[in-house]
Each structure stands twice: as structure tokens, then as C-alpha cells.
């Protein structure tokens, strides 16, 4: 067994997307090899309707999959193939854009005006870039939750974990997507297959993720008290933890517990040509996608 080293810890950065939705971006539009097969991760959490109501009007996708997980509020969606629906709290949508789709997502708050969810972009290998688009809409009630004796709770959205399998199937890159809560003061270890790239995204509470080179935790802050040095990991709200190679992730929950997404997948290791919501392998393929948008052939007829 080997603890995965922590390569990086960074806070999600505020940004704006769509027609003026305020959100926080943990990663995206940087080096696509960092977390291959994953390209982008956004946390859209707001309590003021004016910060999210304008939503994400019609926009194209090609060559990727988008994974939307809603915690509070709802998201109405529609696409150019005639699909419509609403995601509620706890629901997940895994959309395979494949050869091309026009899509819109319009968030609505709950009774208190709160809206919270995440969107992850996963790359598709060259063999599936032009596959037929499809949706997998999953209700929260259909997502298995495992509760350990120490109070640790894990929702298994995708992949297999602790004897449970998530309801999403047939996805490239063999991903695992877990929503994890570890109670206050509990130390917990999670197995991740060595071949996967992995990251955690902390969105509630705080905790100490053990590092392979520093068993006490990540060397982030030193408090010098006489001759003693206290090393603390300050991983907390809206924090990305990027792991290196290994087969274990260990976390010590803080005084209020910790909740985080633990996501991993097999790297695709192919060239990436990326322009906004279109991700291909070559510049020529990217230019073709833009040309298809201009001449009205972006959406392929279904057979």
C-alpha cells in the first residue's frame, strides 16, 4: 500500500460563465494533462438569484462528457435533440456530447434562493469523439450511499466502492466519482486504483490529507512555538487537492468534519485541441467543428 503524494493544493477561483453566472473554478483551460482525463471542474454555489438566474443559454459541446451534480436548487436543461428535463437536489446528469450537441442549462434556487452544484468535464478518446450523443439522468434516490460504523458516508455516483456500484454506466476513462463525508475527528483511508489520476475537492468543513513525504499532512503553514513547529493542513471550503501516483488517500477530519468529492479516472494520454466547449485531438478537427457550427452541420442526424 502506498499513500498518494499531494502534488498541489489550491483554492477554486471565482469566475463568471454563461450569461453571467458567478461560480468558482477549481481547474480548467490550463494544462489538460494535469488531471487527464478530466478537463474542467466548476462549483456553482450562490444564495442570491441574481448571481445565477441568467444561466447557461444555448451553447455547443463536442468531444467531451459533462457531469452535473446538484446539491441544492434545480437545473432545467434542454438540447437540440429534443431532450428536456429537470435536475433536483441530489440528482446527476452525465451527458456524452460526442459528435455534437447544442445544450442549455438554467438554474433555479430552492425555497431559500440557494443554488449549489458542480460540473465536471471529462475528455473522450479519439475513438469516441464523434460518437452519438446521449444523456444519463440519475435521480438522487438511485445513487447508493454506504455508511461505515464510524459515521463515514460515501455516495457512489460512478464506479464501484465498498461493494456498491454507481448507476452511471458505459463511460470512457473508467471513472470513479464519490461524494464523501468523514465525521469530526475520524481518520479514514480510501483505496484508489494506481492507474487512475485522482483529485479531491473539499466543499464543506476541513481536514488533513496525509502526504506520502510528510505523514503529518501537507506542509502548508508553520506555527513556531518555542522550538516546536506545528504543521497543519488547512484544506477547507472550495479547495482542490491534486494527488500523485499511489493506491491510498488518507484524510483526518477537522473539528466540524469534512465533505469532499473524490474523483479519479484512467488517463487518455492523447493530444488535446481545445476551444471553449469543444475538445478535439488536432487543430484541423477543431477548425472543422467551428466550420460545422457556422454552416449548420454541427449536429449530426440520428440514425
In a domain, 263, yes or no: yes
Choose between 141 and 85: higher pLDDT: 141
In a domain, 27, yes or no: yes
Can you give the pLDDT at residue 302?
A: 60
**274 has pLDDT over 70:** yes
Compute CA 142 distance to the chain's CA centroid, rounded to the nearest angstrom. Answer: 19
In a domain, 302, yes or no: no
In a domain, 126, yes or no: yes
Can you give the pLDDT at residue 14?
A: 96
Can you give the pLDDT at residue 214?
A: 63
Can you give the pLDDT at residue 174?
A: 87
In a domain, 1, yes or no: no
Band (79; pLDDT cuts 50, 70, 90): confident
Give percent above pLDDT 90 in the chain: 82
Which CATH number belongs to the domain containing residue 103 in this structure? Answer: 2.60.120.10
Mean pLDDT, rounded, for 32-37: 95
In a domain, 276, yes or no: yes
Can you give the pLDDT at residue 245?
A: 95
In a domain, 254, yes or no: yes
**52 has pLDDT over 90:** yes
**221 has pLDDT over 90:** no
Q: What is the pTM of this model?
A: 0.92
Average pLDDT, the chain: 90
Which of 31-40, 218-227, 281-290 is the least confident region? 218-227
Give percent above pLDDT 70 in the chain: 92
Mean pLDDT, rounded, for 52-68: 94
Structural domain containing residue 65: 6-295
Band (155; pLDDT cuts 50, 70, 90): very high
Can you give the pLDDT at residue 236?
A: 80
**303 has pLDDT over 80:** no
**219 has pLDDT over 80:** no
Mean pLDDT, rounded, for 209-229: 50
User: How many folded domains does the chain comprise?
Assistant: 1
Can you give the pLDDT at residue 149?
A: 97
In a domain, 303, yes or no: no
**235 has pLDDT over 90:** no
205 grid coordinates: 468543513
Amino acid at each position: 500500500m502506498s499513500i498518494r503524494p499531494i502534488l498541489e493544493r489550491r483554492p477554486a477561483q471565482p469566475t463568471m460563465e454563461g450569461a453571467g453566472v458567478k461560480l468558482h473554478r477549481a481547474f480548467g483551460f490550463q494544462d489538460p494533462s494535469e488531471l487527464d482525463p478530466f478537463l474542467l471542474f466548476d462549483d456553482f454555489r450562490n444564495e442570491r438569484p441574481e448571481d445565477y438566474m441568467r444561466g447557461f443559454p444555448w451553447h455547443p459541446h463536442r468531444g467531451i462528457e459533462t457531469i452535473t451534480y446538484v446539491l441544492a436548487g434545480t437545473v432545467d436543461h434542454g438540447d437540440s435533440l429534443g431532450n428536456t428535463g429537470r435536475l433536483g437536489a441530489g440528482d446527476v446528469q452525465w451527458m456524452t456530447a460526442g459528435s455534437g450537441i447544442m445544450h442549455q442549462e438554467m438554474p433555479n434556487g430552492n425555497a431559500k434562493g440557494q443554488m449549489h452544484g458542480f460540473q465536471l468535464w471529462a475528455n473522450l478518446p479519439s475513438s469516441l469523439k464523434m460518437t452519438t450523443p446521449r444523456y444519463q439522468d440519475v435521480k438522487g434516490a438511485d445513487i447508493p450511499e454506504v455508511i461505515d460504523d464510524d459515521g463515514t458516508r460515501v455516495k457512489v455516483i460512478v464506479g464501484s466502492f465498498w461493494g456498491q456500484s454507481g448507476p452511471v454506466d458505459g463511460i470512457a476513462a473508467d471513472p470513479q466519482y464519490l461524494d464523501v463525508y468523514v465525521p469530526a475527528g475520524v481518520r479514514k483511508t480510501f483505496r484508489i486504483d494506481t492507474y487512475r489520476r485522482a483529485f479531491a475537492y473539499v466543499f464543506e468543513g476541513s481536514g488533513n490529507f496525509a502526504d506520502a513525504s510528510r505523514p503529518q499532512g501537507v506542509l502548508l503553514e508553520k506555527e513556531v512555538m518555542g522550538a516546536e513547529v506545528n504543521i497543519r493542513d488547512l484544506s477547507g471550503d472550495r479547495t482542490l487537492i491534486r494527488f500523485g501516483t499511489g493506491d491510498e488517500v488518507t484524510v483526518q477530519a477537522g473539528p466540524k468534519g469534512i465533505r469532499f468529492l473524490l474523483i479519479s479516472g484512467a488517463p487518455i494520454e492523447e493530444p488535446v485541441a481545445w476551444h471553449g466547449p469543444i475538445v478535439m485531438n488536432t487543430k484541423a478537427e477543431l477548425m472543422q467543428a467551428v466550420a460545422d457550427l457556422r454552416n449548420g452541420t454541427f449536429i449530426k442526424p440520428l440514425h
